[in-house]
């Protein structure tokens, strides 16, 4: 299975409209679907934010030029919200999953989908 299949599967749920898979360090894009590619500064902010949330707390979370209000941050997950849309970032052993859900989707539904994929990747060593 190619890495793109993972991002396409997220979009196929109907709860996610854009998704990307980056290396854990944020220095390499592995897959993207829905034309979802972050600027180098944006992915660096996210990758760094898992271990030190101070930058995200003071400046917000950014993806494709959009600022998101930081809702949650820990060593595994970062959640952001902008109006009725949201961003879910989950770090695994070797990757960072980033998914965007559109207005009309319940945040909990989208979060569960992304977190379950992260659990699967962790289970298979990624």
What's the pLDDT at 24? 95
What's the pLDDT at 30? 96
3-class DSSP state for residue 98?
Answer: strand
What's the pLDDT at 37? 87
Q: Which two tokens stand for residue 68?
A: 């998101």
Instruction: Report whether 126 contacts 95 (CB < 8 A).
Output: yes
Q: Which residues of the chain have pLDDT under 70?
A: 1
What's the pLDDT at 52? 92
Superfamily of domain 3-123: Dynein light chain 2a, cytoplasmic (3.30.450.30)
Predicted TM-score (pTM) of this structure = 0.94
Angle 6-68-30 from CA coordinates, rounded to 5°: 25
Structural domain boundaries in the chain: 3-123
What's the pLDDT at 80? 96
């Amino acid at each position: 299975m190619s890495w793109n299949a993972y991002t396409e599967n997220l979009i196929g749920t109907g709860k996610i409209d854009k998704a990307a898979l980056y290396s854990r360090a944020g220095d390499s894009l592995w897959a993207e679907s829905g034309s979802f590619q972050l600027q180098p500064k944006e992915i660096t902010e996210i990758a760094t934010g898992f271990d030190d949330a101070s930058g995200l707390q003071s400046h917000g979370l950014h993806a494709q030029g959009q600022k998101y209000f930081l809702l949650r941050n820990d060593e595994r997950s970062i959640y952001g919200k902008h109006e009725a849309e949201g961003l879910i970032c989950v770090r695994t052993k070797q990757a960072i999953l980033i998914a965007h859900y559109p207005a009309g989707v319940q945040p909990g539904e989208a979060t569960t989908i992304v977190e379950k994929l992260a659990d699967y990747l962790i289970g298979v060593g990624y």
